[in-house]
Amino acid sequence: MNLSPAPFHQFADGREHPAEAYWLRSDDDVRLRVAMWRAKDADATVLLFPGRTEYVEKYAPVAEVLVQNGLAVMAIDWRGQGMADRLQDDPRPGHIDEFVQYQLDVVAMIEAAAALELPEPWHLLAHSMGGSIGLAALLNGMPVETATFSAPMWGINHAPMPRGVAIGISRLAARLGRGGRAAFGTGGDGTYVLDEPFRNNMLTGNAEAWGRMIHEADAWPELTLGGASYRWVNQALAESQRLAAEPSPDIPMLVTLGSRELIVSASAIRARAAEWPGCDLLELEGGHHEVMFEIPDLQARFYEAFLSHVRHGQDHRHGVASGA
């Protein structure tokens, strides 16, 4: 595994533990970036899969909480976003040719975690699009002890446009040679947190967290991403349909869903949770799409459930009775 130092942006007044960042390359030669936060005497590692449009710097506050609880953390910039290679000449649309290509990023991340000797066991924490990538990775045998999903993209809330219409439009755009353009209704070339007022946003009810997102987007515009390309939409819908037909892996799973979820399909999450043995579904009244950046009370409920889930999984691994 060839790793080289990469930049990591941090505010001058930031209180979080500093991250180590590295460049790495996937097997198809796409340059990716990972960030790693080490914890003193850590006895496990969280592999953090961000969502669409996100970048590793966004998760510095999350990593801080986990590091304070004795967990090392590694997060990734997926291909096509953050500081990873963009996949077409226009860097603004979030684009992918085939969703399976994200699995090459997962393999590179696992190899990097091993090369950097991050403590085992490893635990998956995946948000939104990362939840789709994460479920596929688990089905491929990803070596983690537990899995936690925050509003996973196991289906997309494309209301008021019916799913069939969305698929048809994305296919037509591809045939017309416009598959790489931002799909109608996904945000165009803009940056969501800069274009949308807080009162209308679908991500969080936490004004402080929203302000930090604005500060990041304003300070580091090269990390941001616009709307999803027609090709990405087509591939995301196809992947959601494929995953829905797959059985759930035999691994302890926690999944969170906010009552104000408007981006991913709540019904798809509940359907998967209902048939996943050993699943805990944490439904959060008043929660939006991003529970890790929600109001303090909802954040606290998430972290309590997540840390209990991780420790409970490790206790079982070592044959220790747990009351979690």
Which CATH number describes the domain made up of 4-317? 3.40.50.1820
Of 178, 177, 209, nearest to 193 by C-alpha is 209
DSSP helix/strand/coil, 282:
strand
Tell me the pLDDT band of 323, cut-offs 50, 70 and 90. very low
Quote the pLDDT of residue 47: 99
User: Per residue in 291-306, pLDDT tens?
Assistant: 999 999 999 999 999 9
Interval 152-168: pLDDT, tens: 999 998 754 556 666 67
Helix (H) or strand (E) holding 114: helix 102-115
pLDDT category at 138 given cuts 50, 70, 90 is very high
Q: What does the alpha-carbon distance between residue 182 and residue 137 come to, in Å, rounded to a whole number?
A: 27
- Residues 77-114: tens digit of each pLDDT: 999 999 999 999 999 999 999 999 999 999 999 999 99
Secondary structure (DSSP) of 46-87:
EEEE--TT--GGGGHHHHHHHHHTT-EEEEEE-TTSTTSPPS
Enumerate the domain spans of the chain: 4-317
